[in-house]
Amino acid sequence: MIKDMLKLFFINKKAFAGLIILSLFILMALFAPMIAPYGPKQNENDGEKFPLMASPSSEHILGTTNAGYDLYSQLIYGSRVTLFVGILTGLITTFISLSVGLFSGYLRGTVDDVISFVNNVFLVIPSLPLVIVIASYIPMRGVLPIILVLALTGWAWGSRVVRAQVLTIGEREFIKVAEVMGEKTVIIVFREILPNIISLVMAIFFTSTIAAIIGEATLEFIGLGNISTVTWGTMLFWAQNNAALLLDAWWWFLPPGLFIGILGTSFALMNFAIDEISNPKIRKR
Amino acid sequence: MGDIILKLQNLEAGYIIKQGDIKAVDNVNFELKRGEFLGIAGESGCGKSTLAYTIMGLLEDNGRIFNGEILYQDKDLTSMTENELKAIRWQNISMVFQSAMNALNPVMKIGNQLIDTILSHKKDFTKRDAINKSKEMLKLVDITEDRMNAFPHQLSGGMKQRVMIAMAMILEPDIIIMDEPTTALDVVVQRTIIDKISDLRKQFNFSVIFITHDLSLLVEISDKLIIMYSGQIIESGLANKVYNNPLHPYTKGLMNSFPSLTGKLQDFGGIPGKPPNFLKLPGGCRFHTRCPMKQDICSKVAPPLQQINNDHTARCHFVKKGN
Amino acid sequence: MKYVLRKFFWFFFALYIAVTINFILPRLMPGDPASVLVNKLQGVEEGSMEAIRAAFGIDTDKSILAQYGDYLINILKGDLGISISNYPYKVWDVLSKALPWTIGLMGIATLFSFIIGTFIGIVVAWKRKTKVANSVLGIFLFIRSFPYFWLGLILVYFFAFKKPLFPLGGAYSIGVFRGDGLPFIKSVIYHGILPGLTIAISSMGYWMLTIRNNMINVLAEDYIIVARAKGLPLTQIMNKYAARNAILPSVSGFAMALGFIIGGSLLTEMVFSYPGIGFMLYQAVQQQDYPLIQAIFLFIAIAVMTANFLSDIVIMLLDPRVRDGGKK
């Protein structure tokens, strides 16, 4: 079942394209020191100061900031935290969605009622404003609060979808058989139900990772991140705060946003592929 | 019984998928007379629904008619354009679909769903005429006319299926294809629906092709029976002959009464195993992988459909000897 | 009727939860927002402190329950305290100046985006085999992956800075006043086009994808095959049978989507310095104006929940199954 899924996933053109793009970004993050010509916060080389606000040239492919940092190097180093936060948040969100959805859907009864209720409340509370409110209260500016805040406010959608799916699967014969045979709940949930919703889990992971990447960029852009780390979001923050736009410094704000979008697209492509594979109605036609 | 109204000749149809072509209907031949009731039985995946969709010209995008003819009153449906087909479909050949639950648009009143059927075919009908006609048809299937304003979810499963029958009859077609029309219903409701179909057929003299996996439904009501396995007809004949003297082991299996090979009496719960994958059909007789009477020849030579006597054919190496 | 009552009850309950979250959050946070507030509030007139005291629990001997009670009463009275960054104005006064701008801009942009996106989605699903449909789909997938504010930046850069077709920001030109009538309205529309476009373009993908997926699911339903078999004209199948059913999940998902769109619109306002609540939130965050942040969050929550309630009502009108209470 899972094997078939993965096989279909790898021969799907969209999934393949998405996977390639993502791998390129991951490689970029891993080998940043080797690819980038300078450090992310290096403003001189061999005692020679970099020009400030320079437009792209052969020395600085994407120009420099008003502090003289090389933007091409920042862009490459920026992929590290951006990817890390995006993927980790995606994983945590998926984990929360999955655990809540699985147990709520499988256990039913009062447990389910209570969880569903909380779930519904979280669904209608607008998450970005909530994230901004929470982030503005937290004095610590950094990666960890961003991950936590995004994950804790982003799980509701996923867990509702998982729950609905588990409710349907719970009705199926093989679950009933396992119950009659006296299997433990945990075993049924993980061994019998989980493999059947694996495509859904992947879809939730992709969706929440996109949301996390954009959410991170957003928080950092309005100054709620740690502005001394270099990420694509903080690059946009500095660009905006130094009026890069009005100084016609397109090399400052264009590339980071473009990279965020392309990274998001890679996850969107894989998500789309999952949908094509797992939804027989789309596949058939 | 009247003249022959529908004739299938060497019909081969199925689907083109990535892994290859699937011939879900493989060299099927039969004749249907006016007013006749033809039952087609087989497990799911034997190609019986594909057969229905092929006759209706409603195969999906990847569906194909590979070969053969479907002659409706001597006109070949397979060579018609979509527009020519549209004129015949529902007007002359209509269909009752598998799941009554989903065959009605949930957000439209059933009256309107009957009316739009009439109006899209009968250009000389006014809205008033269409409403009257719809009420009349509902009455025929024992549904009161105030239900015109009901939404599908307000009707029971049996009522929905009767609405579908009314819808299939509304243009007074010659042939109605019924694809598992009673599957989702409970036994008592099944019975009333089948009796209703039987009555209406006598009254209006249309022909019925009734497709089901449940052979027992067909026995009393059918004139002729066809048993399909893996896309092929494996037995056909007059209903009472097939029922009283089933020739093919598969037919016997469908009747839940496999003769035991060892001589001991024992019940088979249907037929063990699954129908073969269309992409990996077994050599020889397609049924040999599951056949309790399997001999060496079965996996090597494919048996032809043999005429056993006037009104009875079967596709098995041993029918002559066994008979 | 029971359905409406149930939804109405849920609406109020969700609202109450949002209000309570607002009360709990500053008390849960590690940084002690209250002390930040105390510093900022030095020299503020005693009389205007009441509401803030209750909301944040600043130097008060009252028990937390009593604070909570005071807070709820203040909210009911519409007293949200004073805005620190706009001292001595009340939060409500500041907020009510910004609201019309946001509601106008976002409302119109969302409406357009919903209608156009849904329409495109229906066509794309209907013609899903064609190359054009696939490329349209691809473009939207791509656009949807960008942060709103960056799309806004790009639009400003190309259409206001490089080619000054539109203004760089603001809601109307300097020197034009409300009393001017038509010139004022013209100026407002002129200033609204780019931010409106940003919101519309970036949210359109959501509507388009949702309806497309719904359509594809619906098109596989038996009643579509029946409709085809019955020989109905294609437009009738597409509108009365397919789209009519496919739109239901879009409508019921409206409120959830609205949450995202509001989030995105807030950012759009920041980029365009548009004087709505998004830009105000931005300024409030910069200046740690907690009462204002709190009020803005509360307001957005109310807006989303109202939208949720309304979409529940619309679903009831559109889906007879919901009307009869047969389906959730």
**What is the model's pLDDT at position B1?**
53
Least confidently predicted of A1-15, A146-160, B80-94, C311-325: A1-15
Same domain for C178 and C214: yes
Chain A partners of C22 at a C-beta cutoff of 8 Å?
133
Distance from CA of A117 to the nearest CA of B (A): 28
By Cβ distance, the residue of A121, A236, A284 closest to C150 is A236
**A162-192 pLDDT, tens digit each:** 888 888 877 777 777 777 777 777 788 777 7
Q: Judge whether C85 lies within some domain.
A: no
Give the residues across from B175 on adjacent strands.
B93, B207
**What is the model's pLDDT at position B136?**
92
Chain C interface, mutation test: which of A21, A112, A132, most C Cβ atoms within 10 Å?
A: A132
**What is the model's pLDDT at position B206?**
93
- A245:C153 CB<8 A: yes
Q: Which chains touch A (3 or more CB pairs under 8 A)?
A: B, C
DSSP A189: I
Q: Which chains touch B (3 or more CB pairs under 8 A)?
A: A, C
Chain B residue at shortest CA distance from C242: B105
Q: Judge whether C133 lies within some domain.
A: yes
**What is the model's pLDDT at position C10?**
86
**B157-211 pLDDT, tens digit each:** 889 988 999 999 999 999 999 988 887 778 888 888 888 888 899 899 999 999 9
Give the whole-number percent of chain A exceeding pLDDT 70: 96
Question: C163 and chain A: CB distance < 8 Å anywhere?
Answer: no
Same domain for C244 and C170: yes
Amino acid of residue B189:
V
Question: B104 and chain C: CB distance < 8 Å anywhere?
Answer: yes
φ, ψ (nearest 5 deg) of residue A64: -130, 165
- Over residues B283-291, mean pLDDT: 85
Question: B183 and chain C: CB distance < 8 Å anywhere?
Answer: no
**What is the model's pLDDT at position B270?**
60
**B18-72 pLDDT, tens digit each:** 778 888 898 999 999 999 999 999 887 788 889 999 999 888 878 889 999 999 9
The structural domains of chain A, ordered by start, are 18-28+71-280 (1.10.3720.10)
Same domain for C316 and C182: yes
Question: B254 and chain C: CB distance < 8 Å anywhere?
Answer: no
Q: Judge whether residue C326 has pLDDT over 60.
A: no
In this prediction, residue B257 has a pLDDT band, given cuts at 50, 70 and 90, of very low
**Is A80 strand, coil or helix?**
helix
Let me know if C96 is exposed, middle or buried by CB neighbors in 10 A (0-12, 13-18, 19+).
Answer: exposed
**C54-80 pLDDT, tens digit each:** 777 676 677 888 888 888 888 888 777
Instruction: Please provide the DSSP assignment of A33-59 as one string.
Output: HHH-SS-TT--EETTEEPPTTPPP-SS
Domain boundaries, chain B: 4-92+173-314, 104-172
Chain C residue at shortest CA distance from B102: C222
Give the whole-number percent of chain B exceeding pLDDT 70: 92
By Cβ distance, the residue of C226, C231, C321 closest to B153 is C321
**A16-35 pLDDT, tens digit each:** 999 999 999 999 999 988 88
Chain C partners of A269 at a C-beta cutoff of 8 Å?
141
Q: Which domain holds residue C230?
A: 93-323
- Over residues B217-223, mean pLDDT: 84
Same domain for C50 and C102: no
Q: Judge whether C148 lies within some domain.
A: yes
- Over residues A49-56, mean pLDDT: 80
Same domain for C100 and C73: no
**What is the model's pLDDT at position B130?**
93
Chain C partners of A137 at a C-beta cutoff of 8 Å?
25-26, 29, 31, 33, 290
In this prediction, residue A267 has a pLDDT band, given cuts at 50, 70 and 90, of very high
Q: Judge whether C86 lies within some domain.
A: no
- A246:C300 CB<8 A: no
Same domain for C50 and C114: no
Sign of CA dihedral A194, A195, A200, A202: positive
Q: Judge whether residue B94 has pLDDT over 90.
A: yes
- Over residues A250-259, mean pLDDT: 91
Q: What's the 3-state SS for chain C?
A: CHHHHHHHHHHHHHHHHHHHHHHHHHHHCCCCHHHHHHHHCCCCCHHHHHHHHHHHCCCCCCCHHHHHHHHHHHHHHCCCCECCCCCCCEHHHHHHHHHHHHHHHHHHHHHHHHHHHHHHHHHHHHCCCCHHHHHHHHHHHHHHCCCHHHHHHHHHHHHHHHCCCCCCCCCCCCCCCHHHCHHHHHHHHHHHHHHHHHHHHHHHHHHHHHHHHHHHHHHCCHHHHHHHHCCCCHHHHHHHHHHHHHHHHHHHCHHHHHHHHHHHHHHHHHHHCCCCHHHHHHHHHHCCCHHHHHHHHHHHHHHHHHHHHHHHHHHHHHCHHHHCCCCC
Q: Judge whether residue B323 has pLDDT over 50.
A: no
Instruction: List the CATH code of the domain at B4-92+173-314.
Output: 3.40.50.300
Same domain for C284 and C176: yes
Q: At C148, which CATH number?
A: 1.10.3720.10
Q: Judge whether C87 lies within some domain.
A: no
Same domain for C146 and C219: yes
In this prediction, residue A91 has a pLDDT band, given cuts at 50, 70 and 90, of very high
Distance from CA of B77 to the nearest CA of C (A): 15
In this prediction, residue C254 has a pLDDT band, given cuts at 50, 70 and 90, of confident
Domain count, chain C: 2
- Over residues C198-203, mean pLDDT: 88
In this prediction, residue C327 has a pLDDT band, given cuts at 50, 70 and 90, of very low
- C147:A260 CB<8 A: yes
By Cβ distance, the residue of C230, C241, C321 closest to B117 is C230
Distance CA B292, CA B269 (A): 13
Distance from CA of A197 to the nearest CA of C (A): 19
pTM of the model: 0.80
- A137:C17 CB<8 A: no
Distance from CA of A2 to the nearest CA of B (A): 20
Tokens (6 digits) for C305: 């929940």
- A138:C29 CB<8 A: yes
Where is the domain boundary, C33, C52, C77? C77
In this prediction, residue B267 has a pLDDT band, given cuts at 50, 70 and 90, of very low
Distance from CA of B63 to the nearest CA of A (A): 11
Same domain for C235 and C161: yes
Distance from CA of A201 to the nearest CA of C (A): 18
**What is the model's pLDDT at position B233?**
92
In this prediction, residue B117 has a pLDDT band, given cuts at 50, 70 and 90, of very high
Same domain for C61 and C100: no
- C157:A137 CB<8 A: no
Rounded to whole angstroms, the maximal C-alpha distance in chain A is: 77
